[in-house]
């Protein structure tokens, strides 16, 4: 046996309700709302059954009274209509037509003379009667009260039966609404069921068949296919990144192992010292590679440092001092006294260090770092006089582990991650980085960040 639903107010009630199917929940809500609305309408309509019934009797009574009044005014005896009884009374309520005294009280006679319809009996008597009247003048000048009466036999039963009928129709209507909602929601959700079965059987790289309709189901299928495409793209990038990382790590590890074996087997102290120096170089290269991989992994995970104003002229000069390029002329050309970028200091250091190390590996004699500013952007331009980058490779130099097969690649000795780190750090701040040809014949790397104008204004105010 299944346990009954949790009681109202039970904390498990919401969980139980959410565990039902969407089709059932929509049907239940629609049925309850329809039942509530129809029952309220039935109750209101039941309250008007009695007034509607009396209004119909009153219309017949007033028609009979008008006919009888014309007869009394002309001096003739009024006739009795079918189902109605017409009487002629004086203004005190006493009969003048020779009939028995009517069962009318003084208050009833007063209402009838005022043109109001009254109900007599109904509580102590078995059959209530409805009366209507009108005061007319007879040919002899006497005032006469012409009245008509009709029994309201079965009125109470009609009102009660009408109320029960309306309630029954309301319940039947609610059941009909529930059944129609069940059928309609089943038909509307049938494509969702097919979509769910298709997702369960979807192969790797597959896509959902789109219904081709412009409704919510078609939009859901299109969005899900877009999600699958992005998921496949991320998976492919991860597989490619993992393979490239494994390949890049294999080279320094194998070199360290071979050199360590040579050092162990060597009996010459000078050779062992030279081997240890080579091992140190390869270890530093491996450490740099691992740092780059860790930085890219954090960027892929969405870890972004908090942005703050960074002064690029100062940062460029600090990066040149950290470079320590022996034999190269490295200088900073600042065309503005200061240039504030909206970024993180660690990101700016990473970008400048990697661009300068890349230029240092390929420059023949000199490197120029220029800092420029416009109304909305600040730029750092790094020019070298090396062999440059061919146009067909410029679109790929920021890819991870990409190396162009030219003089720069053969002489670089880098890990293939430096420029990828630069592109990632600039991209996530809404900036851009491009590569082109330097006026000195080498490569030009241009990085743009959004300008922090508030810091610029504050500095000008302080220095002024």
**Contacts by 136-141 with C-beta closer than 8 Å and gap 24+?**
136/69, 136/72, 136/73, 137/73, 138/72, 138/73, 138/75, 139/73, 139/74, 139/75
Q: Which of 93-107, 186-200, 422-436 has the lowest mean pLDDT?
A: 186-200
Which residue is it, tokens 């209509």? 81
What average pLDDT score do residues 41-55 get?
74
Phi, psi of 341, rounded to the nearest 5 degrees = -110, 150
342 Cβ contact list (under 8 Å, min separation 6): 307, 308, 309, 310, 429, 449, 450, 451, 452
Taking the model in full, what pTM does it have? 0.48
Strand ranges inside 230-365, DSSP E: 308-311, 329-334, 340-343
Q: What pLDDT was estimated at residue 273?
A: 75
Q: Given the DSSP bridges, would you call strands 129-137 and 308-311 parallel, antiparallel or unpaired?
A: unpaired
Is residue 409 predicted with pLDDT exceeding 70?
no
Q: What pLDDT was estimated at residue 300?
A: 62
Q: What is the pLDDT of residues 60-112, one digit of tens each?
A: 888 888 888 888 888 888 877 666 888 888 888 888 888 888 888 888 888 88
Highest-confidence segment of 227-236, 308-317, 331-340: 308-317
Give the Cα separation of 430 and 342 in Å (integer).
10
Q: What pLDDT was estimated at residue 39?
A: 84
Query: Is 429:411 a contact under the CB 8 Å cutoff?
Result: no
Q: What is the pLDDT of residues 305-317, one digit of tens each?
A: 788 999 999 999 9
Q: What is the pLDDT of residues 351-386, one digit of tens each?
A: 898 899 889 888 888 999 999 998 899 999 999 998
Give the Cα separation of 161 and 49 in Å (integer).
10
């Amino acid at each position: 046996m299944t346990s009954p639903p949790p009681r109202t107010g039970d904390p498990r009630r919401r969980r139980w309700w959410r565990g039902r199917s969407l089709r059932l929940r929509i049907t239940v809500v629609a049925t309850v709302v329809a039942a509530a609305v129809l029952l309220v309408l039935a109750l209101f309509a039941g309250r008007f059954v009695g007034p509607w019934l009396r209004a119909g009797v009153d219309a017949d009574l007033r028609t009979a009274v008008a006919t009888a009044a014309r007869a009394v005014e002309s001096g003739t005896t009024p006739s009795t209509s079918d189902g109605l009884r017409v009487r002629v009374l004086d203004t005190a309520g006493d009969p003048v037509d020779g009939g028995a005294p009517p069962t009318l009280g003084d208050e009833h006679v007063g209402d009838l003379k005022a043109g109001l319809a009254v109900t007599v009996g109904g509580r102590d008597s078995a059959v209530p009667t409805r009366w209507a009247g009108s005061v007319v003048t007879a040919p002899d000048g006497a005032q006469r009260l012409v009245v008509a009466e009709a029994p309201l036999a079965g009125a109470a039963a009609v009102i009660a039966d009408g109320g029960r009928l309306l309630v029954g129709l309301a319940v039947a209507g609610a059941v009909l609404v529930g059944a129609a909602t069940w059928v309609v929601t089943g038909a509307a959700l049938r494509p969702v069921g097919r979509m769910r079965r298709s997702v369960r059987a979807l192969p790797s790289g597959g896509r959902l068949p789109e219904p081709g309709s412009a409704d919510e189901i078609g939009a859901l299928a299109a969005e899900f296919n877009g999600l699958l495409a992005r998921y496949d793209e991320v998976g492919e990038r991860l597989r490619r990144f993992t393979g490239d990382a494994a390949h890049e790590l294999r080279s320094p590890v194998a070199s360290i192992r071979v050199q360590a074996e040579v050092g162990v087997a060597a009996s010459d102290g000078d050779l062992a010292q030279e081997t240890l120096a080579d091992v140190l170089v390869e270890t530093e290269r491996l450490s740099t590679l691992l740092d780059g991989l860790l930085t890219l992994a954090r960027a892929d995970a969405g870890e972004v440092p908090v942005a703050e104003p960074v002064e690029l002229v100062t940062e460029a000069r600090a990066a040149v001092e950290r470079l320590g390029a022996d034999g190269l002329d490295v200088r900073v050309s600042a065309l503005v006294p200061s240039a504030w970028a909206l970024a993180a200091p660690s990101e700016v250091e990473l970008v400048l260090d990697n661009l300068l190390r890349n230029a240092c590996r390929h420059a023949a004699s000199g490197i120029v770092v220029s800092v420029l500013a416009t109304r909305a952007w600040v730029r750092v331009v790094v020019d070298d006089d090396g062999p440059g980058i061919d146009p067909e490779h410029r679109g790929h130099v920021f890819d991870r582990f990409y190396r162009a097969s030219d003089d720069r690649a053969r002489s670089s000795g880098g890990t293939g991650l430096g420029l990828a780190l630069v592109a990632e750090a600039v991209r996530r701040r809404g900036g851009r980085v491009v590569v082109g040809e330097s006026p000195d014949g080498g490569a030009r790397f241009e990085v743009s960040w959004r300008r922090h104008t508030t810091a610029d204004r504050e500095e000008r105010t302080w220095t002024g």
